[in-house]
Amino acid sequence: MVCSVTVTVTEAHRTVDAVWRIESAKLIAALTRMVRDVGLAEELAQDALVAALEQWPSSGVPPNPGAWLMTIAKRRAIDHFRHLKMAERKHEEIGLDLETTQQAIEVEPDEVPDDLLRLIFTACHPVLKTEARVALTLRLLGGLTTDEIARAFLVPESTVAQRIVRAKRTLAQKKVPFEVPAGPELAERLGSVLEVVYLIFNEGYSATAGDDWMRPQLCADAMRLGRILAGLAPREPEVFGLVALMELQASRARARVTPDGEPILLLDQNRAKWDRLLIGHGLAALERAESLSPVRGPYVLQAAIAACHARAGAPEDTDWERIAALYGKLAEVAPSPVVELNRAVAVSMASGPEAALPLVDELTASPVLARYHLLPTVRGDLLAKVGRLAEARAEFERAASLTRNARERDVLLARAKATAGE
């Protein structure tokens, strides 16, 4: 059905935006396979988008908008290479000639998933800096504009634009092949892809009240990227682990803040507000991940921890023993003092403060946690519980001196005072 003639230009633009969101990644991926250059592919796709913005408001949206955009972009690609030829550039230089280009420009529908996967691995290639990977992934695969990415990451638009230009140049200069890595390289490269997606998610998850709505929207963008990746790599447990982790975390969105923007802690949240649909989705993804391989990677383990909370109908139903055990496994596959500290808290919830104290004592030597106020906070709490009040007080005071949050500092100082029995 074609849009009625009463449609305004703005409405038509919103429709073009929607089509772009659905089609752009596939379009850029197919074009990259043809022209072997992500930067050029994206320019061609943008040309097609401009043509749509010019024509659709009056002509209506074509019945197959994806194919329409592809046709325009292909024509532009052929024009581009003709132009090069007329300028007597040697095609050997760019490894292309007109005939093979025209042959390549027949898109096989079966190629679409492979092209998309190649595009994801290219955008997240280790030759690029992390921030460039993030920007390029959102631009090429999420269909976001430079302005949207800039707003979401609280940086000037020119910064994002530069990052993207440089990233494309780097990919061209380093001759990064448009391919899915194979063999042992795959796991490592997949790790890089998952890291980028999770970074995007966390950027959205750490948004605060008053932030531009583009920021929390990043959570949705990351979940969508994760789900697309799961469709493209259906046998990779860590992909499903990441999807599960993001969905289980996002399921608590509605319960995480008071109306005036104060954070509500997990055990105080109204669990009736948790999104059951996302929880169901997340648990299913976790089940899928666990059925794919007995080996549990870091994302699957973190998702399993999040699932322990999601499954508990009330805070007192939380299976802290299982959480402690999962943190133990996580410490084996992805050792970090922060994981150890989390494990100590879970152990204290499961088995009491005496069991957790030795773990925390060991961490006091960690340089990574030296300025981390939560270490003395947790240690003070455990010491107070076992009746070592003077030491506990010192820990709370130390934690107060380390935190940057005024409200937190007041609480810690009050706790220090109270612990000494004043």
> Is residue 283 near another protein by the rule CB under 8 A?
no
Q: Which is nearer to another protein, 167 or 330 (CB)?
A: 330
Of 344, 406, 351, nearest to 381 by C-alpha is: 344
Contact map string, positions 101 to 120, toward another protein, x by CB under 8 A: ------------x-------
- H or E element in which residue 314 lies: none
349 binds another protein (CB under 8 A): yes
Q: What is the CA radius of gyration of the chain?
A: 26
Contact flag: residue 285 with another protein (CB under 8 A): no
Q: Least distance to another protein from the beta carbon of 11, Å?
A: 8
Q: How many degrees, rounded to 5, is the angle at CA 208 between CA 204 and CA 211? A: 85
Find the shortest distance in angstroms from Cβ 224 to another protein: 4
Measure the CA–CA gap between 30 and 38, rounded to whole angstroms: 10
What minimum distance in Å lies between the beta carbon of 422 and another protein?
A: 10
Q: Is 95 left (phi over 0), alpha (psi -120 to 50) or beta?
A: left
Q: Does the protein bind another protein through residue 335 (CB under 8 A)?
A: no
Query: Applying CB under 8 A, does 205 fall inside the site for another protein?
Result: yes
Q: How far is the CB of 367 from another protein (least distance, A)?
A: 19
Among 7, 17, 157, 162, binds another protein (CB under 8 A): 17
Provide the angle, in degrees to the nearest 10, between the axes of the packed helices 9-35 and 111-123: 90
Residues 353-382 contacting another protein, CB under 8 A:
374, 377-378, 380-381
| Near another protein by CB under 8 A: residue from 50, 277, 334, 370 | 277
The DSSP bridge partners found for residue 263 are 257
Token pair recorded at residue 168: 């494309």
* CA separation for the pair 24, 17 (Å, rounded): 10
Residue from 69, 120, 124, 384 that binds another protein (CB under 8 A)? Answer: 384
Residues in the chain: 422
Report helix angle 146-153 to 157-173, nearest 10: 120
The CA distances from residue 298 to 194, 229, 331, in Å, are 11, 17, 9
DSSP-derived secondary structure letter, 267: G
34 or 346: whose CB is closer to another protein?
346
309 touches another protein by CB under 8 A: yes
In whole angstroms, what is the distance from residue 358 CA to residue 356 CA?
6
- State the nearest-atom distance from the C-beta of 101 to another protein, in Å: 28
Interface with another protein (CB under 8 A): 1, 14-15, 17-19, 21-22, 65, 113, 202, 204-209, 211, 213, 216, 219-220, 223-228, 231-232, 250, 253-254, 256-257, 261, 263-268, 273, 277-278, 281, 309, 323, 341-342, 345-346, 348-349, 374, 377-378, 380-381, 384, 408, 411-412, 414-415, 418
